A and B are shown apart, each in its own frame.
Chain A
Amino acid sequence: KNEVEQSPQNLTAQEGEFITINCSYSVGISALHWLQQHPGGGIVSLFMLSSGKKKHGRLIATINIQEKHSSLHITASHPRDSAVYICAVRPHFNFGNEKLTFGTGTRLTIIP
């Protein structure tokens, strides 16, 4: 069983819809990352969270450490948001060893 589980695996929505992508993990962590991978393969770091909530533009990321769960929300979705969104965690026992554990990603497609 993967230590990091994402849902859904694939998501198709109409432009303007509110999007939620979920990430659950099974180990204690020091930080959680949300990454965006474009079709060309490059990866952009969206958020790094260790508690609470962060907002950047139309993107909002939340984390509940007790429940070992994080969500990424996109408001007023746009076709340019179409990408693969990847959740990655830095387990506590790796702190100082700096190794991320990755989810398998959620492929988001926004239809105009």
Chain B
Amino acid sequence: SAVISQKPSRDICQRGTSLTIQCQVDSQVTMMFWYRQQPGQSLTLIATANQGSEATYESGFVIDKFPISRPNLTFSTLTVSNMSPEDSSIYLCSVEDTGTSGSKYNEQFFGPGTRLTVL
């Protein structure tokens, strides 16, 4: 199973600034995802990070606001641009990988999250 680390674990930022979140996986994975979890809410998929091509964004999320890089199969970054207090959330990196269950379906693993507060 994949082990995921994220940096930073938390940050407090000023309105109008940008923050880049890093996600590192201990093995090569094809599928990497970025999620947002607003306070008291469930997880919402922002985009799928594709290696070697542009990320695929979900409805309501755009590249100018959430640029994503995926330079290789073990690393991705998400930038939250021109932040406002509404961007205060937990941002989670996730990967799909073969798990230990022996299932024909891949398991999905999550990072420890980045807790962002925008003042």
**A34-65 residues at the B interface, CB under 8 angstroms:** 35, 40-45, 48, 50, 54
B105 A43 Cβ-Cβ under 8 A: no
Q: What is the bound-complex CA distance between A105 and B37, given in angstroms?
A: 12
B43 A31 Cβ-Cβ under 8 A: no
CB distance from B42 to the nearest CB of A (A): 4
Chain B count of residues within 8 A CB distance of the other chain? 26
> Which of B61-69, B74-82, B106-114 is the interface stretch?
B106-114
A31 B92 Cβ-Cβ under 8 A: no
B108 A45 Cβ-Cβ under 8 A: yes
A7 within 8 A of B: no
Residues of B within 8 A of A88 (CB): 43, 108
B41 within 8 A of A: yes
CB distance from B26 to the nearest CB of A (A): 15
Q: Which B residues contact A (CB, under 8 angstroms)?
A: 1, 9, 31, 37, 41-43, 45, 48, 90, 92, 96, 99, 101, 103, 105-115
Q: Which A residues contact B (CB, under 8 angstroms)?
A: 30-31, 33, 35, 40-45, 48, 50, 54, 86, 88, 90, 98-100, 102-105
